[in-house]
Structure 1
Amino acid sequence: MAPTTEPPAKREFVHPDASHAKKKKNKNSIEPITAFYLFLSAGILSAVYAPIQDCDETYNYWEPAHYLAHGYGRQTWEYSPDYAIRSWFYIGIHAVLASVRRILPQASKVGEFYFVRYVLAVFCALCQTILFQVISSTIHPRIGFFFIIALCASPGNFHASTAFLPSSFAMYAVMLGAAAFMNWRGGLKTLRGMIWFAVAGIIGWPFAAALCAPFLMEEGLLAISGGNEDLFEGFIRVARGIVAALLVGVLDTAINTFFYHKVEFVAWNIVKYNVFSSSGGPDLYGTEPWTFYVKNLLLNFNIWFVLALLSLPLFLAQKLAGSSKKGLLSGMRAVVFLLPFYMWLAIFTLQPHKEERFMYPAYPFLALNAAMALHIVLETLGHSEPGTLTSMIPAQVKLFSVLVVFAGCFATSALRIYGVVSGYGAPLSVYKPLGGHVLHADVAAGIDDGSIVGDRGDFVCLGKEWYRFPSSFFLPRDMHAKFVRSEFRGLLPGEFSEARTGFGLFGGTWLTPPGMNDQNEEDLGKYTDIRTCAFMVDTQYPENARRGLGLPPFEPDYVADTTNWEIVTCEPFLDAGNTGFLARALWVPSFDFIPEKYQRKWARHCLLKRRKAD
């Protein structure tokens, strides 16, 4: 019998200062399953209650997914084959989810919408849990705990976690990529990390791939400092990652080629339009001052954003105050972990066109930075040297101060979230009488007893409220959303071609739609005759009437036009134009003792039905 030999042990890369990677599990750390439940709870709340904040989410993502799932929907110029700056791969994933829900028991059209959101909540929670686990084992369990709090208690995560947006998808993928790069247990995971960042950048949003830069720089420094053998191994690792990224690009291109009927690398098209466009690019849709993201992140993360900004200075100050030079060197990995948030914030602050969703991919890094900063602050307060100022403060006072600050933080976040939901949630509920939420088997009974209104194929029209439309998933029985002209003079979405015979599968994805342009120039062909509208969705502003403000010529008060329209239902909607900043930013109760200027003013978001002619 031949002698047996032990197989050679797999060489594991261990950085000289990576003693943290060998730490035993802290008995005080939170179990991953507990973290998952916390993240999932926050995600489910978002899925159920979060309003659609950006009309891009409706028209650039929900509507194309509705087209793939149901054969019709509104089409933006970005999906015209002439421009092709949206990925059908990304849309197709969500359309499949909606279609799966349709074939399951107890199906309804609105149910498809929420099913997609629930799946996004689960996937987001999984990604957050994986990153939390790596943070806890690689850096410190307490930092992992703070990471959970920073995300679960923030309005920013409430908006981003279940949004049907490439920036949210990129956020999921960069969490997995960062977790792979950060976790050195079992060796470097460069290939896995680069694959996830490639998924974020190619299938999601191209600019998110830039968040990989600090981790790749660390890879390069490790390879250079380790001698020829490590340099060669580092080159091989990165080369494999590049090949994997190219394969992701090939897959995305193949799928988009199928839909556009021509070869399109959508990620490059997006970069070309946003960075190298000679026609104005995204700036055509508005620009903001450099303070935009500062204000926005303060609203959505309050003290966590402040801590995130202070994280690197606090960390460097702590290391410089240390007694050994090795302490600073051992912190080089921490600097790598802190850099992505600063880099992302700097890049997008410099861009003239700014939107809240552009920050989504950096939210996990913001939470990580804030968690590390809080850990440093608490460690400093708890282990101050005798004779220093902090040592003179009683421990009870320190604890009370920290509790008060974070109680205020949590209260502010809760008021912000509830303020947004209560103020802007009407578009998700006003379409309910049409029956989109009713199980398909119960629709006929609902029509018979009058609890459901509308006939198959009716036109539901939108004037000035076009940008608040939540998507055609809320319009059952082949009802179509149509536009009537308002004061808006930009380019509205058109409609995907519903041609089928002779045009193959999904003809609307490759047939060039009429009247599209990348200049945001109005096309009159996007409007329908109001006489064809069976329903109208409009918002009435009583406060404007009370103040004697006149109505624009193309935006009459349809709610008050009882000759042509009858109210089916109305939902309260925040009148942002007549409400002060504090009441817009946070929920403010309607108590009589609160001064008028701090009260919330309300409009009525209504579904109207055309009156039948006598």
Structure 2
Amino acid sequence: MYTSMLGLAAFLDWRGGQKVAQGIMWFGLGAIVGWPFAGALVMPLLLEEVIIGFIAGDLWKVISGILGGAVRCLVILACEVVVDYAFLGKFAVVPWNIVAYNIFGGDGRGPEIFGTEPWTFYFRNLLLNFNVWFVFALCAAPFLLLQAAFRPRATSKETLFRTVTLITPFYMWLAIFTLQPHKEERFMYPAYPFLALNAAISFHMLLSYIGSNNPKEMVGRLPAKLKLAAVMSVVLVAINAGLLRTLGMITAYRAPLKVFEPLEQLSVTQAGESVCFGKEWYRFPSSFFLPNGMRARFIRSEFRGLLPGEFPNAPDYQTLLEGTSRIPAGMNDRNQEDPGKYVDVSECSFLVDSSFSGRATTDLEPDYVHDEAQWEALACESFLDASQTSLLGRLIWIPDLPMVPDRFRRHWGEYCLLRRRKSD
């Protein structure tokens, strides 16, 4: 996302001449060090540069810039290969490996084995996270066509061509990933700067139309204060919707980032102890939340896919390199369960678990939170019970006040860090 933003800024900034090489470098950095598919976003911008160079008779300058950007990307790729070789102990072009697995993986491989979503997934997700601005982003092309058709004086050929180029990457990205069966929210991250740009262009065209004082147009005869009120209403709705969404997400789902705090107390933990995860394995934020000397372990749950592996302890730099170059036992590229990842619950000094009134327990997923004979709660945080909360309560923050009707109120479960009780 950040390199896409910097690359887009380079292509937009024509002060002192075009910055094709710089723009390619930023997109290349994101594609090589980050996610290789993000590099596709540069294609419409490059096509525009080539067309402009051809029309202006200065195509060689554009080609020179493209070659300069390619050289910079090759330098970045070479640096990455060197670093990867040091840690992996073998030659590897990681961006190509990602592309090869996701596109040419073959039967039983590829992103689809990790789940699929309907085509509406990204539309619902982006509408939730960007509210009005996502609608504006989608309206960029229709608004541009309407402006070109009914207000041709406001849209020169140069402006039309430039605007089409700038709004295309977002539509292209959204279309490509909407067609993919496997969908994740993070896949939209590289296109966020283009979503914001599309929304800004749409809003600018709308403001240009509303701000017209041409008496031949109906909008030109409206009072200025009424126009200002209409515009500010849209802006305030967007701001408040964003704030309510952000506050709702923080208050509903912050528990996995909070419950580990007691482990930092010296009197609570001892070296070599383990904190275990069962059904909550996928909410474990990172081992960086655990004290030095404590390891995360997994116990059996109803999940039947491949759990994360772990690197061996590395007391020195040489051991670190040996550990990163070794593939953990049981790893595979088919999301097949590895029984070797599990430990028995009796080996767990601590356990992270959740309890929701709307969730049924099973033999593999008992209610550890209320098993007070075996476990004591060190820290418990409220966690939104999505199965018992209405749609509105899941979307935005709603205050827990008595005056709020029960059907709109948010309902809560517990997310706890448990410690095994010591036997007498």
Alignment TM-score > 0.5, same fold:
yes
Higher mean displacement: 452-461 or 522-531? 452-461
Q: Report the counterpart of residue 337 of structure 2 in structure 1.
A: 522
Measured after TM superposition, the shift of residue 358 of structure 1 is 0.6
Higher mean displacement: 210-219 or 318-327? 318-327
Whether the 8 Å contact between 2:148 and 2:155 is mirrored in structure 1 is no
Within the candidate set 208, 214, 228, 2:44 is matched to: 214
Q: For residue 409 of structure 1, give the secondary structure of its aligned residue in structure 2.
A: helix
Measured after TM superposition, the shift of residue 323 of structure 1 is 4.6
Q: Which amino acid aligns with 1:259?
A: F
Change (3 A) 1:330 1:427: closer
Q: Report the counterpart of residue 596 of structure 1 in structure 2.
A: 406
Q: Distance in 1 between matches of 2:414 and 2:155?
A: 64
Whether the 8 Å contact between 1:180 and 1:190 is mirrored in structure 2 is yes
Change (3 A) 1:502 1:591: closer
Within the candidate set 120, 145, 163, 1:291 is matched to: 120
Q: Which amino acid aligns with 1:257?
A: Y
Within the candidate set 385, 388, 411, 1:575 is matched to: 385
Q: Distance in 2 between matches of 1:232 and 1:329?
A: 21
What are the Cα deviations for residues 509-528 of structure 1, in whole angstroms up to 9, with x where unaligned? 11122111111111110011
What are the Cα deviations for residues 102-130 of structure 1, in whole angstroms up to 9, with x where unaligned? xxxxxxxxxxxxxxxxxxxxxxxxxxxxx
Q: Report the counterpart of residue 182 of structure 2 in structure 1.
A: 353
Measured after TM superposition, the shift of residue 538 of structure 1 is 0.8
Measured after TM superposition, the shift of residue 280 of structure 1 is 3.1
Structure 1 unaligned spans of 5+: 1-170, 436-445
Q: For residue 336 of structure 2, give the secondary structure of its aligned residue in structure 1.
A: coil
Measured after TM superposition, the shift of residue 499 of structure 1 is 6.2
Change (3 A) 1:359 1:325: closer
Q: Report the counterpart of residue 423 of structure 1 in structure 2.
A: 252
Q: Report the counterpart of residue 33 of structure 2 in structure 1.
A: 203
Q: Report the counterpart of residue 260 of structure 1 in structure 2.
A: 88
Q: Distance in 2 between matches of 1:502 and 1:594?
A: 58
Q: Distance in 1 between matches of 2:375 and 2:304?
A: 25
Q: Which amino acid aligns with 1:592?
A: P
Within the alignment, does 1:277 sit opposite 2:92 as a pair? no
Whether the 8 Å contact between 2:147 and 2:155 is mirrored in structure 1 is no
Q: For residue 285 of structure 2, give the secondary structure of its aligned residue in structure 1.
A: coil
Structure 1 segment 383-398 matched on structure 2, within 5 A: 383-398=212-227
Within the candidate set 40, 55, 66, 1:238 is matched to: 66
Measured after TM superposition, the shift of residue 367 of structure 1 is 0.8
Whether the 8 Å contact between 1:539 and 1:606 is mirrored in structure 2 is yes
Measured after TM superposition, the shift of residue 236 of structure 1 is 1.8
Q: Distance in 2 between matches of 1:323 and 1:425?
A: 51
Q: Distance in 1 between matches of 2:159 and 2:379?
A: 63
Q: Distance in 1 between matches of 2:278 and 2:318?
A: 32
Structure 1 segment 50-449 matched on structure 2, within 5 A: 171-227=1-57, 230-278=58-106, 279-323=108-152, 327-435=156-264, 447=266
Q: For residue 387 of structure 2, give the secondary structure of its aligned residue in structure 1.
A: helix
Q: Which amino acid aligns with 2:159?
A: S
Within the alignment, does 1:465 sit opposite 2:280 as a pair? yes
Q: Report the counterpart of residue 536 of structure 1 in structure 2.
A: 351
Q: Distance in 2 between matches of 1:324 and 1:592?
A: 57
Q: Distance in 2 between matches of 1:239 and 1:271?
A: 23
Whether the 8 Å contact between 2:212 and 2:219 is mirrored in structure 1 is no
Whether the 8 Å contact between 1:463 and 1:483 is mirrored in structure 2 is yes
Higher mean displacement: 269-278 or 506-515? 506-515
Change (3 A) 1:467 1:248: same
Change (3 A) 1:177 1:550: closer
Q: Distance in 2 between matches of 1:456 and 1:500?
A: 15
Measured after TM superposition, the shift of residue 550 of structure 1 is 3.8
Q: For residue 382 of structure 2, give the secondary structure of its aligned residue in structure 1.
A: strand
Within the candidate set 408, 412, 420, 1:610 is matched to: 420
Q: Which amino acid aligns with 1:535?
A: F
TM-score by length of structure 2 reads: 0.95
Measured after TM superposition, the shift of residue 319 of structure 1 is 2.8
Q: For residue 578 of structure 1, give the secondary structure of its aligned residue in structure 2.
A: coil
Q: Which amino acid aligns with 1:534?
A: S
Q: Distance in 2 between matches of 1:289 and 1:393?
A: 43
Q: For residue 330 of structure 2, give the secondary structure of its aligned residue in structure 1.
A: coil
What are the Cα deviations for residues 201-253 of structure 1, in whole angstroms up to 9, with x where unaligned? 001110111111111101210222123xx122222221222222112111111
Q: Distance in 1 between matches of 2:152 and 2:327?
A: 68
Percent of aligned positions with the same letter in both sequences?
Answer: 48
RMSD, aligned CA:
1.8
Q: Distance in 1 between matches of 2:4 and 2:416?
A: 40
Measured after TM superposition, the shift of residue 594 of structure 1 is 2.3
What are the Cα deviations for residues 136-157 of structure 1, in whole angstroms up to 9, with x where unaligned? xxxxxxxxxxxxxxxxxxxxxx
Measured after TM superposition, the shift of residue 321 of structure 1 is 2.9
Measured after TM superposition, the shift of residue 289 of structure 1 is 0.9
Measured after TM superposition, the shift of residue 583 of structure 1 is 0.4
Q: For residue 378 of structure 2, give the secondary structure of its aligned residue in structure 1.
A: strand
Measured after TM superposition, the shift of residue 477 of structure 1 is 3.2
Q: Tell me how many residue pairs correspond in the alignment.
A: 423
What are the Cα deviations for residues 166-216 of structure 1, in whole angstroms up to 9, with x where unaligned? xxxxx1111111111111111111111111111010011101111111111
Within the alignment, does 1:511 sit opposite 2:339 as a pair? no
Q: Distance in 2 between matches of 1:526 and 1:335?
A: 51
Change (3 A) 1:180 1:571: same
Q: Report the counterpart of residue 65 of structure 1 in structure 2.
A: none
Whether the 8 Å contact between 1:463 and 1:484 is mirrored in structure 2 is yes
Report 1 or 2 for greater relative contact order, CA contacts < 8 Å, sequence distance ≥ 6: 1
Measured after TM superposition, the shift of residue 343 of structure 1 is 1.1
Structure 2 unaligned spans of 5+: none
Q: For residue 194 of structure 1, give the secondary structure of its aligned residue in structure 2.
A: helix
Change (3 A) 1:223 1:391: closer
Q: For residue 209 of structure 2, give the secondary structure of its aligned residue in structure 1.
A: helix
Whether the 8 Å contact between 1:381 and 1:390 is mirrored in structure 2 is yes
